[in-house]
Amino acid sequence: MICIIYGLIYLLNDNNVIIIDKSFDFKEFYSEYNRYYPNNKLPSKDFLQWFIGFFEGDGSFIMGQEARTIKIIQSMKDRNILEYIQSNLGMGNIGIHSNKNKTLYWSITNFKHKYLICLIFNGNLVLPMRLFIFIKFIAELNIDLLRNNLKIINIKEYVILPTLKDYWLSGFTDAEGCFTASILNNSPHAYRVRYILTQKHLCNKYVLEHILSLFNKAIGVKLGEVYPHYENNYWEIRINGYKNCNKILFYFDNFPLKTIKGDSLIAFKKVLNSIGKKEHLVPENRIILRELCKTINKSKAKVLK
């Protein structure tokens, strides 16, 4: 269903989630950030778009009677991405989440900082499930704001759609996507290359379908499907094959990944380049390519600027 209200286009998906045709808007966040920290450099719009995509994949709104926390958990080898977030936002703490699982957290517990971070997300979320959890989180946060005689956050109960001209998909891929490549043994020339993006909950499926349609429209061909994952209630985009994977790389060239997946993408591109040159048909080269494929998704942490 499509509705036009106050000049804005509203869409309702199968779950009656309101989708607004608008771009990311950080005016309210920038205004409040400047008020609290007039001497600080503002986080860039590109970073905030990436941060929302990354958080929607890997972040959490934690609610409880005693405290409300905004948190991202990563492996210890990914500490640099947490420091990157902390540095750009100028807020948050990094600590050990689990020595056993070798994980770290970046978290926001400071009252003022929670308010500011929520202004980033308000009206800028893409995934319906994230929106529903966020609405509950803000409802509880607003009670705290009222108790402290502070201005509440007017919840914007809608989601927006990303484009191929913003950083959201880059951040979401850093959290939920992967590039895979393998040189197969069942044929002297067989290989498999894929870009995969996975998400849980049926209500989020249309976002994957939207992303795929963006690529289809930009390239002019149908690249793949959104498939049920082997785990229940999970869905994924699978873009297979040398030609199709090559066609989507323009986006990641324009909006680079920030995590160690960027190193995997570099190796992935090398594999594609070698396949394009037919080097995979030479037995000696297949051995080299097989070893290169093993490095994908096993990159060491890198320092981000």
Give the mean pLDDT of the chain: 90
> Is the distance from CB of 35 to CB of 42 less than 8 angstroms?
no
Query: Which two structure tokens, joined as six digits, stand for 172?
Result: 């979401």
Strand-pair category, 159-160 with 18-20: parallel
Q: What is the pLDDT of residues 203-220, one digit of tens each?
A: 999 999 999 999 999 999
At residue 304, the pLDDT reads 47
Q: Does 144 lie in the same domain as 41?
A: yes
For residue 31, how many C-alpha atoms fall within 13 Å in the half-sphere facing its CB?
5
Q: Does 272 lie in the same domain as 155?
A: no
At residue 217, the pLDDT reads 95
Number of domains in the chain: 2
Q: Does 259 lie in the same domain as 243?
A: yes
At residue 5, the pLDDT reads 38
> Is the distance from CB of 237 to CB of 172 less than 8 angstroms?
no
Q: Does 81 lie in the same domain as 175?
A: no
Give residue 295's Cα distance to chain centre: 22
Of 114, 142, 160, which one is at a domain's C-terminal end? 160
Q: Which domain holds residue 123?
A: 2-160
Strand-pair category, 2-5 with 8-12: antiparallel
Strand-pair category, 69-75 with 93-98: unpaired
H or E segment to which residue 41 belongs: none
Q: Angle at Cα 85 formed by Cα 213 and Cα 157, nearest 5°?
A: 50
> Is the distance from CB of 160 to CB of 49 less than 8 angstroms?
no
Percent of the chain with pLDDT over 70: 92
Cα–Cα distance between 295 and 63 in angstroms, integer?
A: 39
At residue 206, the 3 state secondary structure works out as helix
At residue 303, the pLDDT reads 40
| Residue 303 in domain | no
Percent of the chain with pLDDT over 90: 76
CATH (domain of 13): 3.10.28.10
Model confidence band, residue 262 (pLDDT cutoffs 50, 70, 90): very high
**Is the pLDDT reported for residue 276 higher than 90?**
yes
Q: What is the pLDDT of residues 109-147, one digit of tens each?
A: 998 999 999 999 999 999 999 999 999 999 999 998 898
